[in-house]
Chains A and B, each alone.
Chain A
């Protein structure tokens, strides 16, 4: 055996071992590495640090959230005349009747000083904008470029009207929200609502084309929602853009506009709204919301509470572990705890 190997070695390169693996840190598995070990000390330290970081963040975001002033008013029932409120069918009948008077007035009181800009939202409940059939019922190509007008394959059943393609097609556009709001402060000053810049910039610039104009919109048998002015290109139809950025949850808010005046505490805001949109079929709710925003965004206590909770628990655990650690030192580092030392005997 030795002879054979030496013969092989001799024939190729004397004195060397051709089959000897080359040394490398990789193949010998000796790459330099650090060993993170979750020792009790490390665990305690980590918890303490998390606590120290999280609690201030939590307090900051909670207080920021508290600073946000938000007024919300639900109106879907109140804006129906008394006589139509009793049953669902009555409500639907009312809302679907183009002749019925849909004007309605709501009064809001400003609880605290509200700095401009004040954002006006509408909030819908129980509206599944994230339903699979709904989400895909649009044509991105059609929205983007004027040439792809007839690309409406995904839009059924709202793809064609009278044999012509609908622009914008699909269920999303078709069910465009069309309640309108106008505001007066303390009964005499009318507040203008700025409706520009309410959509996402990326939508304006990339998703909705400049040369795309609405065509045949809401001209079919059923009217699903709002209509569009056919002389304005889609890239300037901000309401549509806001609506078409579908929400993730069945309860969602969408930006309606901005009021660029400060509102004082105890100001009375009168909202004249046109209750056009049908949420009665599916027992939806409608709200109008006025809200300020600061660095944290709108009112959202959740983040702050969550931070404080997690930070607090961490802190508490750190304390507990410390106590435990002092009372009963680590079992580790003691060979006698190895299982084969603690319970001898056949495996």
Chain B
């Protein structure tokens, strides 16, 4: 008990130490129990004071020392017990420990008798010391390497021998050095060392690359305050407490405390794409106390003390205090700027490997590297819209949050490889059986009657007839060594080599997967999973950035019942092609404007031409609505060409841009006014500056689904402009004008089915009096303290009514190029595509339509939490109740839908099914009790769309299918929110070429565009799968054949374990004679060309079915190798039993050489027989193997007979199989047999940058069969929505677009000289 009290006291000491920010020496010790003293709960950082920080580190060090010593005492406590038992012993005392800094120390240090435990503790102490020492030396440098010079060999070898096969061969090698071995050690040692050497070289090479990348990052430079000026030092020399300056578009070199910014308000804008994949800007705000420390002179006066938590990996939390001028100010994550640049791949990708000077010579000097790094840092961008900021370093190097987060990417193994393990196990079984038979035989055989064997009394154990059991055991070991060739040692290394070349030479260099615009080739980040790509059945895709470009373009509109815009969307084009329609070239109007966010082509509206339309007044209202009703901020010079719009959602920016191009140029916003420069309004060519007074802004939120602005014209007219979802706008329209409403609704449906995002625009003229009376209520609501949001909504309802419909806009959420056709191809290949997105359901559905994942013929099952029942429950606010209600409704719906789905499945031509589920429901559906139902339902659906899902849920859904359905899954995404899903799936694919690299870092393959997936899967994946299957089965076959001849021979040698083949033959068989040709096959074999692979995506199904590595296939191979080994052995031994021409007889080695030659030739011929395509590389190898010439006719005769007799069965089998039970690929081969393989090389060489979006669109046709859709494609991203999850995780994000707008406007105002 006493001990426990001590623990308590030591704890409280620690706590006190924490609160007073001093590290008191703890003066008590622990005697009982295994309670370790905890690390101090916080750390203290003295800003701008390196010496003080060094002291802190020293204290940490002493803490670790203390901890170690405490451990020693603990150990002593243990040893007291053990000492009792060992009292009699007088073992040598341990070396006297240094006097401990403990009061009760003396009692601790007595003689101990547990040296091993001592060693353990000693090791621990040393480790801690090294850690605390080096953590200072390393500063801000990071290391992602696996090995260093010292650890490479032991650690690398350890890694190698973790592989069972290698361990097995090590055992065999050791066995083969003992006398029981029938073969010389070289047989096993040589291949093993070769294999190890190759693997180690590969490891070393990869680690070297990582090291170089680390160095490049560590040497990037940063401004640090030294004395009274900024000095540039490399990142790695940065230390905790340093004051650094980060310039615009620069990276944060470490985790910083944000002190001051050039912006007023002490805010800065940062981009966190690398960290969490969100591309929108985030705002960080410094503490007011520190705003002034901006200039070097001022900053050098800054003497703060930061107390903060220990380094941890939580990106969204930070707790700490800043003690400045004896004041303690709490810190929030809002003041912390996280380092987000660690990613070696970024450098790898973006640094040109070497620059070429004018003579064409390669130059790569340190200077080059320096500049390119500097350049990259600019390209990446973390700090935005801020000239520079000043910060204090909190965590450096490995302690930064992003490094703490750097997960050890779980190394994935392909399914095929796991199946291969099973095959190897089977082979072990066979080996065991063979050895057992042989060993029993030998124990029976051995007998003194064979006097010529010299089995005298003192014969060695293995041949001693007096102890047959020992004979059995030893022969068993002998035979294991002899038959060890049954496990192909070079298999793994061959496969690895093949895969390595496949990924580095084929996948990485495929021009079909090279994206010109972003200058990004595909990249296989691991070579383990090539063949897995050939078996994927489920694809989980992110939406934004993967399927879509996150680029909204104003595409069409309907004004006053007239459709404008002649563009054709991808979906329409796809639909037209499916219907056999003719997709001709559309006329492009001259002077077509194309700008980011605007892709609209209709001469009737451009350049003021709208004035000649039948309804110019409606048009005017339309454009004004676009120009006024928004929360966009203009930025930069106030000219139409140079202005940039900052918007919370890209939709809004697109609408304002559209207004600008139509001649309603919104150029300035003040808190009360919107300035619009209107042209061609009254008269063509006339430009007029208008300023509208903004009276009220009724903001957007997801329940309102609309946004309104009340504004006053210069002439006093008060108008409410409203834009929003068609459903909510239509409810609030004034009566009458039904014709317009119907026509517009028709248009909405048209747009919707074309995959466009629609918004309805409406306005309402207000009289001054009615406005004033409403405004009073509004102000009241706004100033109310309780339920403000709700009251504001209610007030808004009062004025947003009796609206007049103007028209609607259609924005194209631009899909990535070629997405619909790629999805179509993939689904023909039997791959099911699920979309998992953080977006709202409407947006997700919209995209699913756009990607033709869902269409109107499908039966849609929607499980949404947006039902009235749930909403009411939520309003009541009882969380437990809400959870119960949601769970109940989810269960009910799942049950209902599942029954329905099964009913549809039973009918022959039932509709295809689609499941749509949102994140909240999914959370409950993933509950273990409902999981099965969800899986059942979703596996029956052709398409599944999950919206509003969190990153974790993405991973859960992925593993649900991976583990629940045991299907092979692939996840593709581009942002950090996809990382978990990418890692959860069998194969993770990252979209590269954009800013965020987290997804790519976690991925196994990185491609620049979603559409490259079809190349990656259907071509590379399929080929890899085919090839690897062939290689594996072939290895299996050839080694089994070889070993079985040994086995048969052993029956004739009295089971003595005599080897049939020469040592060298045996070792070279695997390494040279047969390994090289099969590698060639693994690299070059092609069943059908790349073009046909894509033309017949259905061929991919063979991979999904795993048609080439099934038990049956392996069984057939085993049968034939059995047959062939018998043929080799008996044909050769029988035909060589007679004398040859000169009367001489063949000896053992003559026969075995003959058999060996036959085997090598046959096995290689068999390889040729399984080749689908034979390149010149193949010939060379075949000739190489035919090397042995002997001088007898008999040899030649045998030589001709045996391979043919051996392959006879295979040949018949293959012929018959092909004839009567063909694989699909064989049929395709036949169909296209007479076509010369069309080489696309010339096209690729000529291929310039692909068509620009305009050109691509020019393929459009004017009129297409219009499809009606119940789905109108409403979508309007709520501003700030992107940060939804961040905010859930507790990060501060601006919740309101208006918030962003206000801040930015203040900033821009301050920059611009006042005009008046």
Binding site for B on A (CB under 8 A): 1-2, 4-5, 7-9, 11-13, 17-40, 43, 46, 50, 54, 57, 61, 117, 119, 121, 127-135, 137, 156-158, 171, 174-175, 198-200, 222, 224-225, 242, 245-255, 258, 278, 281-283, 291, 293-300, 302-303, 306-307, 310, 313-314, 317, 321, 330-335, 337-340, 347
Quick check: B1219 and A331 within 8 Å, CB to CB?
yes
Q: List 23 A-B contacts (CB under 8 A).
A: A5-B518, A8-B375, A12-B355, A13-B356, A18-B353, A18-B519, A19-B349, A22-B509, A27-B505, A28-B509, A32-B1175, A36-B1172, A131-B450, A132-B1053, A133-B454, A157-B456, A171-B453, A198-B1143, A248-B1136, A255-B1143, A282-B450, A306-B1135, A331-B1227
Complex Cα–Cα for A23 and B505 (A): 11
CB-CB under 8 A from A21, the residues of chain B are 508-511, 514, 521
The answer to whether A135 touches B1148 (Cβ under 8 A) is yes
A307 touches B1201 (CB 8 A): yes
Q: Which 4 A-B pairs have the closest CB atoms?
A: A298-B1139, A300-B1138, A175-B452, A21-B509
Given contacts A12-B352, A255-B1143, 12 further A-B contacts (CB under 8 A): A1-B518, A7-B375, A39-B1230, A43-B1211, A57-B1200, A119-B1143, A133-B455, A245-B1147, A297-B1140, A303-B1197, A340-B1098, A347-B830
Identify which of B11-19, B105-113, B1237-1245, B1271-1279 touches chain A: B1237-1245
**Contact A246/B1147 with A28-B509, A294-B1141, A310-B1204 known, Cβ cut-off 8 Å:** yes
A225 to B454, CA, bound (A): 12
Cβ of B361 within 8 Å of any chain A Cβ, yes or no, is no
Q: Which of B225-233, B679-687, B794-802, B1054-1062 contacts A (4 or more CB under 8 A)?
A: B1054-1062
Q: Give A221 Cβ to nearest chain B Cβ, in Å.
A: 10
B1211 CB to closest chain A CB (Å) equals 7
Interface: B131 (CB within 8 A):
no
Cross-interface CB contact of B453 among A131, A225, A302, A333, cutoff 8 Å = A131
Neighbouring B residues of A317 by C-beta, 8 Å: 1212
A240 to chain B, nearest CB (A): 14
A317 to B1215, CA, bound (A): 11
Q: Give the Cβ gap from A294 to chain B, nearest Cβ, in Å.
A: 7
Please give, as numbers and ranges, the residues of chain B lying within 8 Å of A119 by CB-CB distance.
Answer: 1139, 1143
Secondary structure of the A side of the interface?
A: loop
Query: Which residues on B sit within 8 Å (CB–CB) of A132?
Result: 182, 478, 1053, 1056-1058
Give the CA-CA distance A39 to B379 in the complex, in Å: 58
Chain A residues whose CB sits within 8 angstroms of the CB of B1054 once the complex forms: 128, 131, 250
A331 and B1058 contact, CB distance less than 8 A: no
Q: A30 to chain B: which residues have CB within 8 Å?
A: 1239-1241
Once A46-B1211, A133-B1056, A298-B1138 are accepted as A-B contacts, the answer to whether A303 and B1194 lie under 8 Å apart by CB is yes
Complex-state Cα separation, A134 to B1139, whole angstroms: 23
Q: A21-B521, A282-B449 are in contact. Are A303 and B1148 (CB under 8 A)?
A: no
Binary flags per residue of B296-309, CB closer than 8 Å to A gives 1, else 0: 00000000000000
Cross-interface CB contact of B519 among A20, A35, A222, A253, cutoff 8 Å:
A20
Determine how close the nearest CB of chain B comes to the CB of A236; give it in whole angstroms. Answer: 17
- Are B1148's CB and A8's CB within 8 A? no
CB pair B1098–A338 under 8 Å, yes or no, is yes
* A50 with B1204, Cβ < 8 A, contacts A29-B1086, A333-B1227, A338-B1224 known: yes
Knowing A17-B519, A18-B352, A282-B450, say if A335 contacts B1229 (CB, 8 Å).
no
- Complex: chain A residue closest to B523, CB-CB: A19
Give chain A nearest CB distance to B203 CB in angstroms. 24
Known contacts being A133-B463, A255-B1145, is A23 close to B1241, with CB within 8 Å?
A: yes
Q: How far is the CB of B228 from chain A (nearest CB, A)?
A: 34
Of all chain A residues, the one with the shortest Cβ separation from B1131 is A306
Q: A29-B506, A131-B450, A338-B1224 are in contact. Are A5 and B517 (CB under 8 A)?
A: yes
A303 lies within 8 A of B1244 (CB) = no
Is the CB of B944 closer than 8 A to any CB of chain A?
no
Q: B1288 contacts the other chain (Cβ, under 8 Å)?
A: no
B114 to chain A, nearest CB (A): 48
Q: Are B519 and A296 in contact (CB under 8 A)?
A: no
Tally of B interface residues using CB under 8 Å: 121
Interface check B451, CB cutoff 8 A: yes
B1144 at the interface (CB under 8 A from A): yes
Q: Find chain A residues with CB under 8 A from B1146 CB.
A: 248
Is B995 part of the contact surface with A, judged by Cβ < 8 Å? yes
Chain B residue with minimal CB distance to A345?
B908
Q: Does B641 contact A (CB under 8 A)?
A: no
| B521 CB, min distance to chain A CBs, angstroms | 5
Report which of A131, A200, A306 forms a contact with B1144, defined as CB distance below 8 A: A200
Roughly how many angstroms separate A248 CA and B1133 CA in the complex, as a whole number?
A: 8
Instruction: State whether A347 touches B1101 (Cβ < 8 A).
Output: yes
Considering only CB atoms, which chain A residue lies closest to B1221 in the complex?
A331
Q: From residue B33, how far is it (CB to closest CB) to chain A in Å?
A: 58
- Asked if residues A9 and B519 are in contact (CB atoms below 8 Å), the reply is yes
Smallest beta-carbon distance A290→chain B, Å: 11
Contact A23 B511 (CB under 8 A): yes
Contact: A130 with B452, CB < 8 Å? no
Residues of B within 8 A of A313 (CB): 1208
Q: Is B1222 a contact of A252 with CB atoms below 8 Å?
A: no
Which residue of A121, A157, A255 has the most chain B CB atoms within 10 A of its CB atom? A157
- A137 neighbours in B (Cβ, 8 Å): 454
Interface residues of B in 499-554 (CB under 8 A from A): 505-506, 508-511, 514, 516-521
Within 8 A of A (CB), among B1220-1263: 1220, 1222, 1224, 1226-1231, 1233, 1237, 1239-1241, 1244-1245
Contact among B378, B1176, B1220 with A331 in the assembled complex (CB-CB below 8 Å): B1220
Q: Does B317 sit at the interface, judged by CB under 8 A?
A: no
- Mask of B1189-1204 contacts with A, CB within 8 angstroms, 1/0: 0001110011011001
Pairwise interchain contact A8-B379, C-beta atoms closer than 8 A = yes
A303 and B1145 in contact (CB under 8 A), knowing A23-B1245, A297-B1192? Answer: no
**CB < 8 Å: which of B506, B1053, B1131 contacts A128?**
B1053
Closest-CB distance, A279 to chain B (whole angstroms): 10
Q: Is the CB of B521 within 8 A of A334?
A: no
Q: Which of A1, A13, A35, A334 has the most CB of B within 10 A?
A: A35
Closest beta carbon of chain B to A200's beta carbon, Å: 6
Residues of A with C-beta under 8 A to B1229:
35, 37
Which chain A residues lie closer than 8 Å to B379 at the CB level? 4, 7-8
The answer to whether the Cβ of B1104 comes within 8 Å of any Cβ in the partner chain is: yes
B1222–A130 CB distance below 8 A: no
Interface string of B433-477 (1 = CB under 8 A from A): 000000000000001011111111011100100000000000000
> In the bound complex, how far is the Cα of B1099 from the Cα of A339, in angstroms?
9
Smallest CB–CB gap between A308 and chain B, Å? Answer: 11
List residues of chain B with CB within 8 A of the CB of A129. 1148
Q: What chain A residues lie within 8 Å of B1152 (beta carbons)?
A: 248
- Give bound CA distance, A250 to B1241, whole Å: 62
Asked if B1142 and A43 sit within 8 Å, CB to CB, the answer is no
In Å, the complex CA distance between A317 and B1208 comes to: 11
Q: How far is the CA of A288 from the CA of B1206 in the complex (A)?
A: 35
Interface string of B358-393 (1 = CB under 8 A from A): 000000000000011001101100000000000000
Contacts of B1200 in A (CB 8 A): 57
* Chain B hits for A294, CB < 8 A: 1141
Asked whether B510 lies within 8 Å of A28 as measured between CB atoms, the reply is yes
Find chain B residues with CB under 8 A from A117 CB.
1143
> Across the interface, do A28 and B1143 meet the contact criterion of CB distance under 8 Å?
no
Cβ B454 vs Cβ A157 within 8 A: yes
Residues of A within 8 A of B1245 (CB): 23
Which residue of B has the minimal Cβ distance to A13?
A: B356
Contact A303 B182 (CB under 8 A): no
A298 in contact with B1148 (CB, 8 Å): no
CA of A135 to CA of B1090 in the docked complex: distance in angstroms?
56
Identify the closest chain A residue to B940 (Cβ): A346
Q: Cβ of A291 and Cβ of B1133 under 8 Å apart?
A: no
Find residues 90-136 in chain B having any chain A CB closer than 8 Å to their own CB: none
The answer to whether A13 and B355 touch across the interface, beta carbons within 8 angstroms, is: yes
Residue of B whose beta carbon sits closest to that of A130: B1053
